[in-house]
Structure 1
Amino acid sequence: MPHSIPLIRAAAITPIRRWVEERGEDVGPFLARADLSWVPADDPALPVPLRSVVRLLVEISRAAGPDTPHRIVNGRGGFEIGLIGRAAFRGPTVRDGFARIARMMPAHCTHEIFTVALSGDGLHIRDGWAYDLGDDEALYLVQQYVASLIDMICSVAHPEAPRAERVEMVPHPEAGLNHLRPWLGDRLQPAPLRALDFLVGSDVAAQRFPKGAQERAREANGETGRRIASGASLADQVSALVAVMLPRTTPHLDRVAAAAGISGRTLRRALRQNGTSFSDVVERTRAQIAVDRVRNDTDVSLGSIAADLGYANQATLSRAVRRWTGQTPRSLRSGLKSRIEPGKPVSETRLSK
């Protein structure tokens, strides 16, 4: 199976952060173990590694109990989940809202397969993954989280429980499903397949979202609904993640490999088979970011740009820009066309390989 780096919007971890902090606990150690400490809390549109988000959910659930995903989501509004919540509440009905989510999912996650089909006058919602999320514990917790989000969105239009006619999910490998019976009762069943199936009845599917939720969804700002740009090749996907990490943290080889679920050695070998190397991908990506920022962020000093991208000083950035483009930063800011060639290796090797 080809290696890939699945990404998801940082909005997926917003409810998790909030829940831990409301319990009076420090979310920092959990974020550190999942390698998400570098992700800002105020940028829900930022694409982040899906594997890290899953690990965060697993770590917190192991500490707080197997029903943690439901407790994180239960009783909360849907705007915490960014684009997905806004898409839903523009509905205007529950049925329309979930159809919108299905269309918007590629803008939220690169590897999530969210489908909505009519089931009589109700809805059959299925959520699966074009990627191995890990063992049954991880899959169970993710499915519980998604099921809770579906139920929460329904609750905005139909507050009375239950809202699901049937839910099928992978059981927890030790706790099974019984601990979720207070929420779903006998409507909860083990999944014969490994996908989450959530059946919404016709009475719920036809409900309209409150006008206030619809108006807020129309007025909300945020990500535009464009598909997350990750690229078809592994090198492109590495570049996409590196571009997100560079202004915020150091994209070491092993950190990027972990996002793909492989070792650093395997990532290095896979990139070599694609005719490139990790250091070349990092530096090509950094070159593209630097040239773009020097040209367009004219209100930001070159020193600040150099610091953001990990250069020792402004002079180092200036030399690099001239090497890549044949022009000085001042020429770029004057609007002259650069000659940087996409895909051409560069020789800057100061970052760790």
Structure 2
Amino acid sequence: MSSSIPLIRAAAVIPGEQWLTQNQLPAAELLMAAGLPASPSAAPARLVSVHGMMLFLENMAAAHGPDFGARIATPEALLCVGTPARAIRQSRTVGEALHRIASTFHQHASQLFLHIHEGPGGMQVKEGFSVIGSATMHHQAQQHFAATMRCIGYLANGRPLDAELAIIPHPEFGIDHLKPYLGDKIVAQEGRQLCMWLPNEALALSFPWEPDIAQRHESELLTSAASHSLLDSARILIAGMIADGNPSLEQLALCSGRSRRTLQRLLAAEGTSFTRLLDSVRQDHVLRHLTESHDSVSSIGSEVGFRNISSVTRAVRRWTNVSPRQLRRDQQHV
């Protein structure tokens, strides 16, 4: 298993955020307890932890029922889920939408795969991911994905897609609790791969809109969500933690699904530490904004957690051997 931390667009968490808000529950508190941003909808393209999303689903299922992942999947929520929603809006039929979702899935998440294969009579869809987590976490993630995919049918003809499903069962409740959301054509299977079979009749369903060409161009501008190393993914998450005001080794360990000690050992094997990564992320932000913007030194520093101008100045001198003012002056003469 890769040591990198699987990432997903924050838009994927919006259905959970919406459900919490609608039910007057403390959304920010519950999301942050799982290592997620307090408001995913405020920055839907931001990359967050896949493990954090799965932990959130598991926590909510423990409190609100084992069908939580399927229950929060609605047609309205689906249209908020970033890259998949754009793929649907760009398509004429359900089959075309599934092809587009699969081809752009790398923009949505890393270490998650979505494979489709068309055969006689229909299409097989397989979804899975390399994420550390319990059987309950994987069960929640699979039921949420399956229910979300079935919601595509509502957008076409007002009914959920007809699909046969093979899903990892809940360790205690099995799969019967999912039939109201996923239908009767559902079986339990071992392994951490969700399998769906969609008949040609479902794939041929048309959407009541013309493909959104503007969104097609927008999707082409998105970079891949894939992270190729532990350090890449750690830096992305640390930048988000800084924005949230809570960067810590414990928070990064939570996002990675590993213990604090294990994460420290993995970082040490890469020749670094959390403290060094945090300093590096702050350095990149401060130096880039000092040379590319006219923002004040204090405001730039405050964006990454420096409490006053003196601490920013000391950091810039440590990184460059010159003051922020001198750095800007030198850049103007380049």
Same fold flag (TM > 0.5): yes
Structure 2 partner of 1:151: 150
Residue pair 1:83, 1:223 contacting (<8 A) in 2 also: no
Amino acid in the other structure paired with 1:203:
E
Greater relative contact order (Cα 8 A, min sep 6): structure 1 or 2? 2
* Map 1:257-268 → 2, pairs under 5 A: 257-268=253-264
Residue pair 1:87, 1:217 contacting (<8 A) in 2 also: no
Distance change in 2, residues 1:226/1:164 (3 Å): same
Percent of pairs identical after alignment? 30
1-structure distance, mates of 2:29, 2:275 = 29
Distance change in 2, residues 1:220/1:67 (3 Å): farther
2-structure distance, mates of 1:111, 1:13 = 17
Structure 2 gap ranges (5+): none
Distance change in 2, residues 1:254/1:229 (3 Å): same
CA drift at 1:334? 5.1
* Map 1:252-331 → 2, pairs under 5 A: 252-298=248-294, 300-331=295-326
Give the paired residue count.
334
Structure 1 partner of 2:113: 113
Distance change in 2, residues 1:204/1:332 (3 Å): farther
> Alignment partner for residue 227 of structure 1, among 224, 227, 231?
224
* Map 1:96-245 → 2, pairs under 5 A: 96-132=96-132, 134-161=133-160, 163-211=161-209, 214-215=211-212, 218=215, 224-228=221-225, 230=227, 232-245=228-241
Amino acid in the other structure paired with 1:180:
L
- Cα shift readout 1:6-40 (whole Å, capped 9, x = no counterpart): 11111111011111221233323422421335455
**Are residues 1:9 and 2:37 paired?**
no
- Cα shift readout 1:278-333 (whole Å, capped 9, x = no counterpart): 211211121111111222232x2221111111113123212322332344434544
Task: Give 3-state SS (helix, strand or coil) of 2:263's partner.
Answer: helix
Residue pair 1:229, 1:240 contacting (<8 A) in 2 also: no
Residue pair 2:109, 2:225 contacting (<8 A) in 1 also: yes
Amino acid in the other structure paired with 2:5:
I
Residue pair 1:9, 1:47 contacting (<8 A) in 2 also: yes
Amino acid in the other structure paired with 2:253:
A
CA drift at 1:49? 1.2
Task: Give 3-state SS (helix, strand or coil) of 2:163's partner.
Answer: strand
2-structure distance, mates of 1:238, 1:87 = 28
Residue pair 1:104, 1:225 contacting (<8 A) in 2 also: no
Which deviates the most, 94-103 or 246-255? 246-255
Structure 1 gap ranges (5+): 339-353
Residue pair 2:166, 2:187 contacting (<8 A) in 1 also: yes
Residue pair 1:107, 1:228 contacting (<8 A) in 2 also: yes
- Cα shift readout 1:200-250 (whole Å, capped 9, x = no counterpart): 1101112222216x33973896894311263x3323322222122222223
Task: Give 3-state SS (helix, strand or coil) of 1:164's partner.
Answer: coil
Residue pair 2:143, 2:167 contacting (<8 A) in 1 also: yes
1-structure distance, mates of 2:143, 2:185 = 14
Structure 2 partner of 1:41: 41
Residue pair 2:235, 2:277 contacting (<8 A) in 1 also: yes
Amino acid in the other structure paired with 2:304:
L
1-structure distance, mates of 2:183, 2:309 = 62
1-structure distance, mates of 2:259, 2:53 = 18
Residue pair 2:34, 2:254 contacting (<8 A) in 1 also: no
- Cα shift readout 1:124-173 (whole Å, capped 9, x = no counterpart): 111100223x2221111110000011011232123234x23311101111
TM-score by length of 2: 0.90
Residue pair 1:77, 1:152 contacting (<8 A) in 2 also: no
Amino acid in the other structure paired with 2:309:
Q
Task: Give 3-state SS (helix, strand or coil) of 2:278's partner.
Answer: helix
1-structure distance, mates of 2:254, 2:247 = 11
Distance change in 2, residues 1:167/1:337 (3 Å): farther
**Are residues 1:25 and 2:22 paired?**
no
Distance change in 2, residues 1:242/1:263 (3 Å): same
Distance change in 2, residues 1:32/1:281 (3 Å): closer
Task: Give 3-state SS (helix, strand or coil) of 2:317's partner.
Answer: helix
Residue pair 1:6, 1:259 contacting (<8 A) in 2 also: no
CA drift at 1:190? 1.0
